[in-house]
Structure formats: C-alpha cells, structure tokens
Amino acid sequence: MSSAQTQALPQPKPGVKEFIDKVIAVLIPIVVEFLRLLPDGLVFGVALLSLLSLCTSYGVLLFSMFELMILQRLFAGFMGSIAPTGAGQNATAAVCQNGFAFPNMLRISMVDSIGKASTFPSSSMFFLVGIVTYVISSIQHFKQEITTLGGDVNMRTTIASSLSVLFILFMFIYRINYGCDSFGNVLLTMILGLVAGVALVIQNLALFGRNGINILNLPLLISATEAGKPMFVCAPTSV
C-alpha cells in the first residue's frame, strides 16, 4: 500500500532538482556572507552615507554605533569578571566570525575589536538589536511630521516593526543554528540591546535635538506660537 503511494507521487525531473540544488548551493554562501558581514558592513555603509551626504542624523547614528560597541565591551567586561560564559560551541567557526575576511584568513572587525567577541552579551546581536531599536524608536518622535506630510504613521510603524522583528528572529535562529551563541546569551542580549537602543535615542535627543535623530530626513514642523513669532492667516477678500 505504502510502496504504491510512493510510486504514485510525482517525482521532480532530474534536471529541475539539479538546478534547484545549484541555486541553493550559490545562494546559501552569499546569504551567510551577507549576515556575517552585516554588523561591520553597516558601520562602513553608514559612515560612507554620512560622509557623502553630510547628514547630521547619519553622523549621530554612526556615533551611536560606536557607543553601542563600547557599551557591549563594558557589559562583557563586567559579566566576564563574574561569570565568563555565553559563547556557543561553534563560536570560532568562520560563519560566526564578524567582519571583513581576507583570502589569507586575516579578519578585521570593528564590532569585535571595540566590542568583545565570544562572551555575554553577544557582540553582533547586541549591536544589531540596539541599532534596530534605535531607528524604530527615533521614527516614533516624528509622528506629527509623517501625518502632516500625508503618510500613514500606523501602517509605516507596523510594517517597520514587523520586518524588524522578523529580521531579529532570523538573526536569532542563524546564531543559534550555527552554534555561534548559546540560547540564553542571545535572549538576554536582545533585551539589553533593546534597552540600550531606547536609551541612546533619549541621549541623542538631549544632546543633538530632534534634528540629530531625524533618520528619515523629514522637514521639521515647528509651531510659530511656540517660537514666539507672529502667525499670519489669509483673510477672505471682500471683493
């Protein structure tokens, strides 16, 4: 009965199966390289964007990235003196190593150099969760501008939050699946990163003002009455 059912199932053509295998064989190393490069590539990409556009908010974002790395080092130093734990069983594997790799196996990673690798909190997860939280919470400060410009704040927030949660979940599964970090380490790191991201927005708001966290580069709305300037309204003509 079962053998007859097996025979009845349509088998993929050998050509199609080979093609799918080839596509997967090409895709997986690229995606792994993409995820491995993500924290350091992001630092480089934002540095390049801020340099080319001379945009304050990207400069402040870059500054916050360095702050996150220093925070991770401080946490790791503190936790390491109490209980040096957190790395997964496969932490030294190539897929778990952040940064730019050279053909001679030399590796340069700013996230692991300024921060501290293979310890609690996980350097790459702390950095990514912190930055994602930073951007999402900074957008929340521009609800009025988005609404005035005709955008739907709720839809944008929902899309951004859903995509960010999916992205963090994907990174979580990736780090656990390849044995880069232990489960508890990643989970607690995510909570710490979340707190750090929100705290950095509050800090930058106080230091640089609203313009410093304006990631979307929206024109800021300032109330004329708050600025102490007279407000003129067009009167209806009598003609």
Asked if residue 42 binds another protein (CB under 8 A), the reply is yes
User: Is 66 a residue that touches another protein (CB under 8 A)?
Assistant: no
Residue 176 and residue 186 in contact, taking contact as beta carbons nearer than 8 Å:
yes
- Quick one: 86 exposed, middle or buried, by C-beta within 10 A (0-12, 13-18, 19+)? buried
**Residues linked to residue 108 through DSSP beta bridges, in sequence order:** 100
Q: Which of 51, 70, 108, 222 binds another protein (CB under 8 A)?
A: 108
User: Of 80-88, 95-103, 173-181, 200-208, which segment contacts another protein by CB under 8 A?
Assistant: 95-103
Q: Return the number of the residue (109 or 182) whose C-beta is nearest another protein.
A: 109
Min. distance of Cβ 82 from another protein in angstroms? 29
| Token digits of residue 49 | 């964007």
Contacts to another protein from residues 168-227, by CB under 8 A? 215-216
Q: Counting beta carbons within 10 angstroms of the beta carbon of residue 32, is it exposed (0 to 12), middle (13 to 18) or buried (19 or more)? A: middle
Radius of gyration of the chain (CA): 24
Alpha carbon distances (Å) from 173 to 30, 88, 94, 116, 222: 17, 13, 17, 21, 44
Which residue in the set 143, 167, 179, 198 belongs to the binding site for another protein (CB under 8 A)? 167
Nearer to another protein, 60 or 132 (CB): 132
Q: Which residues bind another protein (CB under 8 A)?
A: 26, 29-30, 33-34, 37-38, 41-42, 44-46, 48-49, 100, 102-103, 106, 108, 110, 113, 131-132, 135-136, 139, 156-157, 159-160, 163-164, 167, 215-216
